[in-house]
Amino acid sequence: MDNQHKKIINAWTMYDWANSAFATTIMGAVLPVYYATVAAADLPGNSATVYWAYTTSISLLLAAIISPILGALADFSGSKKRLLALFAFFGILGTALLYFVKTGDWLMASIFFIVGEIGFAGSLVFYDSLLPHITSGEEMDQVSSKGYAMGYLGGGILLAVNLAMIMLAPKELTGLMTRLSFLSVAVWWFVFSIPLMKHVPEPGRRIFSGEEKFNPLEASFKRLARTFKEITTYKQLFIFLVAFWFYNDGIGTIIKMATIYGAEIGIGQTTLIGTLLMVQFVAIPFAFLFGWLAKKIGTKRAIYLSLLIYTCIAMAGYFMQEEWHFWALGFAVATVQGGSQALSRSLFGRMMPKSKSAEFFGFFSVSEKFAGIAGPFVFGIVGQLVGHSRLSIVSLIIFFIIGGVLLTRVDIEEGIAIAKREEARIQEATA
């Protein structure tokens, strides 16, 4: 690997470092607690948990609707980086606006979070779509895993700073320090996005014969329609998408609902946030470990292992009562969280033609977002029906089981071969 290639890969992984501050402080640790104890403090019973689940579902639904359209637009116009920058801007803006949320402002908090989440999720479509253009083959597993590891490190460092701000401040300043932590995420996200914008090259556009007369939006919808028709011809890729939809449903819901679920059952704020901070740093070596493990036992087997552990976590979550239980389950999540997602991203990238990377990662994003919609929605519905969320956490097991069973049907080698044939065909067909 020459120095220029290393610089490009390092710059690409820095965006994981940049945006993961949103995942840790906003999605995972600080905002859910602030939402439950401040913004939604006046709501009765477990309403804060239920409303947070619905807020998450709405944000992911909106991101899922626009992701494939924007993916097709990015491929046609050759604007993956520009669209990444645009969505990152909206994410940063929504995050910064959370500073103004105070007691009783749960609706305002939900709206600003939705704006931030759409920016976060939308930017990842274009970020992920750059991966097949900067690396290939088995190296993709290691590069994808490095990205997740950098995300855990960067997100963990800023979370540690934010926790120090909040927990060491006098009680009367805790709210202000929490709101300043939201601003710190916006600044962090902006600053550390710069290396990708500066060093990662924009992949060349490919225009099919006859598309020259179309405007970008028209061409995007036509490409989207064609991709809908073609997606089932990539049989192995399609099966993997469906499998990913199910098992990532459970993973995403555990990540998003863990803190507010813990708060509901009486786990203290120090334990809740401290555990999530611990997860960030424990997950770093395990993300690299899963990249290594994929080389030794195969990508699918490594993902199976992560799903088995997640199933055990969901079952154990029902019985959680003591604070040390939360620490233990958090450690278990840390061992598999990064590896399962990194290997899923790289596996998908290996089974698609590079020239359609943004379109296909748009579909990957839709799969991921709809998974995120279903999980929190089911979590919220079950919790609303029974009046508590213990059965909600158990309901996630079915998603891991179905996803794992479907994954057994995926022939990776066949999927890679199809992608290579289609890439060769596209190169011949493009002007």
Domain ranges for the chain, please list them. 3-197+215-429
pLDDT at 42 over 90: no
So what's the pLDDT on residue 76?
67
Which region among 91-95, 109-113, 345-349, 422-426 has the lowest average model confidence (pLDDT)?
Answer: 422-426
Structure-token match 């803190």, residue found:
259
How confident is the prediction for the chain on average, in pLDDT?
A: 83
CA 386 to chain centre: 29
Reduce the DSSP state of residue 90 to 3 states and report it: helix
Residue whose pair of structure tokens reads 């839709």 in the numeric block: 366
Res. 81: pLDDT tops 60? yes
> Lowest mean pLDDT: which of 212-221, 335-344, 422-431?
212-221
Q: How confident is the model at residue 380 (pLDDT cuts 50, 70, 90)?
A: confident
d(CA 91, CA 117): 6
Q: Is 412 exposed, middle or buried (0-12, 13-18, 19+ CB in 10 A)?
A: middle
CA-CA distance, 220 to 199, in Å (whole number)?
27
Which amino acid is located at 350 in the chain? R
Confidence at residue 250, expressed as pLDDT on a 0 to 100 scale = 84
114, 62 Cβ separation under 8 angstroms: yes
Closest CA to 353 of 342, 343, 363: 363
> CATH classification of 3-197+215-429 is 1.20.1250.20, yes or no?
yes
pLDDT digit string, tens, across residues 162-183: 988 988 889 889 899 999 999 9
Helices (H), 135-268: 139-167, 174-191, 194-199, 216-230, 235-264
pLDDT band at 97 (very low <50, low <70, confident <90, very high): very high
Task: Give the Cα separation of 311 and 320 in Å (integer).
Answer: 15
Give the mean pLDDT of 390-419: 87
HSE-CB at 306 with a 13 A cutoff on CA atoms is: 33
- Which residue in the block uniquely carries the two structure tokens 């989440």? 117
The pLDDT score that the predictor gives to residue 167 is: 84
Q: Find the range with the poorest average confidence among 9-13, 95-99, 108-112, 326-330.
A: 326-330
pLDDT given for residue 396 in this prediction: 83
pTM recorded for the entire structure: 0.72
